[in-house]
Structure 1
């Protein structure tokens, strides 16, 4: 490979979504399934006897679709070889497709896909495999996360990678909540604790925290100032996860107006402030036309 070709390959590998068309399609499939389920709910309601709940299928398919799109966006920045990327990609794809199928089909059949009390032996096996596929996705995420913590890999886009690092740490909390649900065979703990809140907040870090780095990178913000805002917003997000985790361990609702949820809300406002500052800096650094072209740019 010539020097020109090597530089071109390096430039492409640093672009979001580059080379991940298949993962993008799998992610979009989740939104398509969620849209179909929403139509069914509109016509027939969400409950499907004896255990089915189409609202759960809707939220799951949309959430995992968003998760896979986020993975597709950051995969090219990992610095992994084509062979390793392909292996991780297929771990995500097969795990996601199975999860879509079981979550959607079982709810339409009136069966809880994870913790059924009314299903057959086959339904219990499908549920056990569902848990196994969740572990496969955890392994794939860890394999993808590791190279982002190697300094030599990420000289080109340090601000974006800093946000991604924080996001992966937060995602581990989401996975811990997922494993906890598998162990309990339920999303509920104590009198009012709901692990799905911790689970969701951890996963949404994959969108919220890299966003800070992407905005400040595009705004051409001074590196020291940009890192300060990324650290502030990301640490605040992680503290909110910790506070919600403690509230859930106590078996209490994350939405009651007590000390821990209120403090978690304040931390999320800190992240929102960092995001607002990042957007403001981006808008100040570019006029309307160039911002439109920026968002339209395939390289993002």
Structure 2
């Protein structure tokens, strides 16, 4: 019993847990991965291009991205301090928007129709694409509402380091939403000679995983709180600067995958972020070893 009490004191389990009470959102996120898995099997046996406009590779990546995004929302929503009613409204708005997005993206590509900017579809297809755009804008608005809410949350926070990572993540998502609106205005994902807005869009949204992960790791590490904050700020700012540089490269109409000055600078910022994640992982492993040693001593 003495051993258990000491180990629990070291662990300091947080009072609010990730994903707590968000079963419906978790299932919705997993649907995206199941759809992507099914599409990958289809692509393995068939040509991913379906005339005249369909591309199953787009459906594969889109469903996986939405699934990951919804799982990320499910993880952080319990930390929002929303009341039961407001949290329920937010939850079901995300679920409705996701289900429609899964459906229109998958079915239209299977039919050979561009789900967003069709030039070959019927009036119904065009209307469905317009509704897709409206729902995308609604998701942008809903994400901004969440961002503002997390930025305005007052201390004390139950999990302050995680909240810090979430705030940075939403700022990156704001940049991703800007790229999404840019695509809607252009009615295309390509800009200039080789710029691809979908890359900027995706990198910005992945901050919901890349910036929250090190914060989650660091809150468990046994180091000075000031050092934890420095690592979170350093990694998050590096990620934000990477997104900014990629945005400039895309705005210039150039691919972010060429070996020129801006992509190289973006890569350096990425390596800085990755370095903070490695440090966080090492600190967590060191803590786990210390717990194991403590437990053995107390046996």
Instruction: Quote the Cα distance in structure 1 between the aligned partners of 2:129 and 2:156.
Output: 39
- Determine the structure 1 residue equivalent to 2:248: 246
Deviation, structure 1 residue 241 = 0.4
Alignment partners' CA distance in 2, 1:16 and 1:134: 26
Q: Within 5 A, what are the aligned runs for 1:1-300?
A: 14-152=16-154, 154-287=156-289
Contact residue 78 and residue 153 of structure 1 kept, 8 A: no
Whole-angstrom distance in 2 between the partners of 1:154 and 1:161: 11
In the TM superposition, residue 138 of structure 1 has moved relative to its aligned partner by 1.1
Who is 2:297 aligned against? none
The answer on whether the counterparts of 2:118 and 2:125 sit within 8 Å (CA) in structure 1 is yes
In 2, the alpha carbon distance for the partners of 1:36 and 1:12 equals 37
| 8 Å contact kept, 2:15–2:158 | no
TM-score normalised according to structure 2 size: 0.91
Gaps in structure 1 of 5+ consecutive residues:
1-10, 291-300
Taking structure 1 as the reference length, the TM-score comes to 0.91
- After TM superposition, where is structure 1 displaced by more than 3 Å over at least 4 residues in a row? none
Deviation readout 1:59-99 (Å, 9 max, x if unpaired): 00000000000000000001111111111111101111000
Helix, strand or coil at the partner of 2:113 = coil
Taking the aligned partners of 1:221 and 1:130, their CA distance within structure 2 comes to 47
Give the Cα separation in 1 of the matches to 2:18 and 2:164: 15
In 2, Cα distance between equivalents of 1:194 and 1:131: 19
Distance 1:15 1:158 in 2: 13
Q: Partner of 1:6 in structure 2?
A: none
Q: Following the alignment from structure 1 to structure 2, what is the Cα–Cα distance between the partners of residues 86 and 98?
A: 18
Structure 2 unmatched ranges of 5 or more: 1-12, 293-299
Structure having the higher Rg: 2
Residues in 2 aligned to 1:228 and 1:243: alpha-carbon distance in whole angstroms: 22
Number of aligned residues: 280
